[in-house]
């Protein structure tokens, strides 16, 4: 499952660099589970020189989607496309070798993918470094920052968490609420709901940014609208306590009920009490 997850992410990440018609059409067909059309379009794109379309064919073989499952053929396709500078092919090789437990090849191909502009390769390298006993926070930050700049919102969010509390006590990282808020803002602006919630908490408490209950309420609303239960919870509490808005018990209950539907058990219990 880990490899498949990584592969699909890489499939999405490279779509903007795909051939104008074939690559995008193949991707849309893949999302609709029309694997025969996806294969046809990617084969066409590959013949026209779009190496990311070539790499995408490998994913079909790896997962047995529209073709007979053949991991060896998938690996061969990824390797060929990676050598032709497909960021997707390199990333997917890294994901395959990570699943197989080959640390050296995992790092080698994720590094190639990252250097070629695959944000998930940079992100995965950062997580691997973060999980080392002597992980270097400066390296983690550098890799996540690169992925963040490549428009991977989850990397911006991870940077926000890293600078907020450095929970793994990585060396060469200085906690900074100001930096944390900046990265959460970047991810929130890209509609990453958990970051909107976290930024709302910083704004509510005046950590790294100016304290502003009205703005915090707006951020929690954005997070809640994005389907993040904690955003709904925090917004409900503001209405319950009259922070950034008039007290509104009815509205608070509605928000707790919404969070409850998002599988937040604590919110279910709070809604029942109102």
Residue 7: pLDDT band with limits 50, 70, 90: very low
**1 pLDDT exceeds 60?**
no
**16 pLDDT exceeds 70?**
no
Please state the rounded mean pLDDT for residues 265-270. 95
Residue 15: pLDDT band with limits 50, 70, 90: very low
pLDDT tens track for 38-69: 999 999 999 999 999 999 999 999 999 999 99
Please state the rounded mean pLDDT for residues 163-191. 96
Q: For a pLDDT cut of 90, what percent of the chain falls above it?
A: 88
**What pLDDT does residue 22 have?**
87
Residue 270: pLDDT band with limits 50, 70, 90: very high
Residue 21: pLDDT band with limits 50, 70, 90: confident
Query: Hey, what CATH class is 186-274 in?
Result: mainly alpha
Domain 1-117 is of which CATH architecture? Alpha Horseshoe (1.25)
Q: What is the DSSP string of the chain?
A: -HHHHHHHHHHHHTGGGS-TTHHHHHHHHHHTT-HHHHHHHHHHHHHTT-HHHHHHHHHHHHHTSSS---HHHHHHHHHHHHHTT-HHHHHHHHHHHHHHT-HHHHHHHHHHHHHTT-HHHHHHHHHHHHTSTT-BHHHHHHHHHHHHHTT-HHHHHHHHHHHHH-TT--BT----HHHHHHHHHHHHHTT-HHHHHHHHHHHHHTSSS---HHHHHHHHHHHHHTT-HHHHHHHHHHHHHTSSS---HHHHHHHHHHHHHTT-HHHHHHHHH-
**What pLDDT does residue 17 have?**
44
Contact between 221 and 255 under an 8 Å Cβ cutoff? The reply is no
**What pLDDT does residue 97 have?**
96
Tokens representing 74 are: 């998938």
**262 pLDDT exceeds 60?**
yes
**14 pLDDT exceeds 60?**
no
**What pLDDT does residue 9 have?**
38
Lowest-pLDDT range of 20-24, 84-88, 185-189, 259-263 = 20-24
Q: Provide the whole-model pTM.
A: 0.87
pLDDT tens track for 96-141: 999 999 999 999 999 999 999 999 999 999 999 999 999 999 999 9
Q: Which residue has the tokens 């600078």?
A: 163
What are the boundaries of each domain within the chain? 1-117, 186-274
**What pLDDT does residue 244 have?**
80
Please state the rounded mean pLDDT for residues 132-153. 96
- Taking all residues of the chain, what is their mean pLDDT, rounded to a whole number? 92
Shared fold status for 1-117 and 186-274 = yes
Residue 18: pLDDT band with limits 50, 70, 90: very low
């Amino acid at each position: 499952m880990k490899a498949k997850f990584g592969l699909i992410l890489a499939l999405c990440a490279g779509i903007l660099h795909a051939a104008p018609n074939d690559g995008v059409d193949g991707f849309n067909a893949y999302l609709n589970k029309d694997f025969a059309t996806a294969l046809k379009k990617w084969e066409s794109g590959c013949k026209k020189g779009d190496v990311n379309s070539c790499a995408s064919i490998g994913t079909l073989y790896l997962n047995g989607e529209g073709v007979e499952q053949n991991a060896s053929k998938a690996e061969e396709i990824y390797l060929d496309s990676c050598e032709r500078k497909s960021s997707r092919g390199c990333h997917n090789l890294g994901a395959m070798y990570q699943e197989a437990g080959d640390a050296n090849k995992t790092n080698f191909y994720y590094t190639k993918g990252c250097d070629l502009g695959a944000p998930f390769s940079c992100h995965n390298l950062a997580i691997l470094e973060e999980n080392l006993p002597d992980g270097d926070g400066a390296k983690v930050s550098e890799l996540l920052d690169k992925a963040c700049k490549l428009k991977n919102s989850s990397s911006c969010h991870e940077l926000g968490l890293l600078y907020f509390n450095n929970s793994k006590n990585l060396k060469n990282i200085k906690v900074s609420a100001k930096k944390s808020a900046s990265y959460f803002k970047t991810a929130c602006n890209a509609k990453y709901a958990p970051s909107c919630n976290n930024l709302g908490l910083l704004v509510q408490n005046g950590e790294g940014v100016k304290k502003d209950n009205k703005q915090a309420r707006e951020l929690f609303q954005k997070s809640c609208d994005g389907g993040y239960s904690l955003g709904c919870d925090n917004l409900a509490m503001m209405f319950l306590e009259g922070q950034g808005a008039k007290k509104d018990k009815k509205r608070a209950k509605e928000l707790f009920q919404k969070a409850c539907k998002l599988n937040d058990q604590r919110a279910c219990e709070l809604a029942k009490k109102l």
